[in-house]
Amino acid sequence: MHFLSNEVDELQKLAEIPFTNLNTIMKKLLFLAVLTLTGSLFFQGISKQEQEPEPNLILSTEAALPDDVKAVVDKKCYGCHNANSKNEKGKAKLDWDALDGMKKSKRKAAMGEIAEVLEKGEMPPKKFLENKPEGALTEAELATLAQWSSGKKK
């Protein structure tokens, strides 16, 4: 409560209204609440900085991926989505190194999630592309990944 009373004191000075009765205090508290709410709206837009991907890393050649898919993954995805990635969020969502060791249901599930993210155009992230527009998937690359991840045969 110490924090709150400080805030109220500040407001009192600002508004130059003397503390005379409970009613005034309530109104100030209400004002404070509205102020906090409005303030909190502005914080939602601020997001954490994305970690830079490691350049020139390549997924193990043992990986059970079709060659064309592996080529796109190495070029456009693996920099963030690898086992040693400093991009914690990217690593947690998808780690290409772990895909092979997964049981079939989990591997297919990961593919389903990849397919969905690609359909929605959520990857690579917009924030990332602002600094590195050449990281975007070309139409052909997108088609290769989408075809593979949706589990449909050619």
Q: How many helices (H) and strands (E) does the chain have?
A: 7, 0
60-99 residues near other proteins, rule: CB under 8 A: none
Q: Does 115 bind other proteins (CB under 8 A)?
A: yes
Whole-angstrom Cα distance, residue 31 to residue 29?
5
CA atoms within 13 Å, Cβ hemisphere of 13: 5
Opening angle at CA 99, ends 96 and 105, nearest 5: 145
Give the binding-site size for other proteins (rule: CB under 8 A): 23
* Cβ contacts of 7 within 8 Å, gap of 6 or more: 32
**Residue 59: which of 47, 69, 46, 73 has the closest Cα?**
73
Determine the 3-state secondary structure of 73 from DSSP: helix
Among 112, 125, 138, 143, binds other proteins (CB under 8 A): 112
Q: Does 110 bind other proteins (CB under 8 A)?
A: yes
State which residue, 2 or 120, has the beta carbon closest to other proteins: 120
Q: Does 34 bind other proteins (CB under 8 A)?
A: yes
State which residue, 51 or 150, has the beta carbon closest to other proteins: 150
Segment interacting with other proteins, rule: CB under 8 A, options 30-38, 62-70, 71-79, 130-138: 30-38
Q: Does 109 bind other proteins (CB under 8 A)?
A: yes
124-153 residues near other proteins, rule: CB under 8 A: 149-151
Residues in contact with other proteins by CB under 8 A are 15, 17, 24, 27-28, 30-31, 34, 103-106, 108-113, 115-116, 149-151
